[in-house]
Amino acid sequence: MSLERYRQDLLAEFNRDKEKYHQMPKGVYTGFTAERKSSVYYDLNDGIIALLGYPAKPVKKLDHQYQVFDLIYIDKSGKLILKNQKEVLDLLTLYRDNERFVPDAIDRGEPVEVTNLVNALKNWLTSQAVQEEEMEDGSVKKRMGNETIEILQGLKRGNRASIGRIKQNTTVDDKYQLNNFDLITWFLVTV
């Protein structure tokens, strides 16, 4: 999966005003209204597009490098709307000329609205570590989450990234904690 097309777009934008982007703090956000377009074949929902970096940058470390970036588009319940980062980049490219739109309540930082977004991210993180399955007797059984399943599928293909992930010797439950990720930037999508 080549991301070169997006890389070129990013570089062009970055070169236009390097200084502005260098000074931008982490966690900056924006948003847009995703009106229906004929080229969008999937169902869009209100949600967040988030760029997460792992592991989170320690407070005093200046030369921190993230091992993994996750670019996700999730709905308010934390469920993935698009399945991979290429689809998310396609979506962003499609709507990149739209005017900024973020609901006032979010811009004002109203706790209830912000908490909803935090919960959506928490739910996504949890789903990476654990899935819940309702059994016939009504009890709930915890099952492997998405990340372990993806690692195992990668091992079947001899995928080096999967082997690299196992070698970190970090369990998914330890990894997918809110504090272990930096929210580098996020977009609020309103449909």
Under the criterion CB under 8 A, does residue 176 sit at the interface with another protein?
Answer: no
Residue type for 175, please?
Answer: K
Single out the residue of 164, 128, 176 nearest to residue 149, CA to CA.
128
Question: Longest C-alpha distance within the chain, in Å?
Answer: 61
Q: Is residue 149 involved in binding another protein (CB under 8 A)?
A: yes
**Listed residue (120, 125, 114, 128) closest to 178, CA to CA:** 125
Of 53 and 145, the one with the shorter C-beta distance to another protein is 145
Instruction: Give 32 or 124: the residue with its C-beta nearer to another protein.
Output: 124
How far, in Å, CA of 92 to CA of 51, rounded? 12
Task: Please tell me the distance from the alpha carbon of residue 152 to that of residue 79, in angstroms, as a whole number.
Answer: 21
As measured in angstroms, the least distance from the Cβ of 54 to another protein is 15
Nearer to another protein, 28 or 166 (CB): 166
| CA pair distance 126, 79, nearest whole angstrom | 11
Residue among 113, 107, 118 at smallest CA distance from 31: 107
Per CB under 8 A, does 16 bind another protein?
Answer: no
Which of 59, 135 has the CB closer to another protein?
135
Q: Which of residues 112-141 bind another protein (CB under 8 A)?
A: 129-130
Among 152, 177, 178, 191, binds another protein (CB under 8 A): 152
- Rounded to an integer, what distance in angstroms lies between the CA atom of residue 33 and that of residue 102? 8
The smaller minimum CB distance to another protein, of residues 161 and 191, is found at: 161
**Does the protein bind another protein through residue 177 (CB under 8 A)?**
no
Distance in Å, CB of 150 to another protein, minimum: 11
If one asks whether residue 156 binds another protein (CB under 8 A), the answer comes out as yes
Q: Does 161 bind another protein (CB under 8 A)?
A: yes
Indicate which single residue of 48, 49, 120, 151 sits in contact with another protein (rule: CB under 8 A): 151
Go through the chain and tell me how many residues it has.
Answer: 191
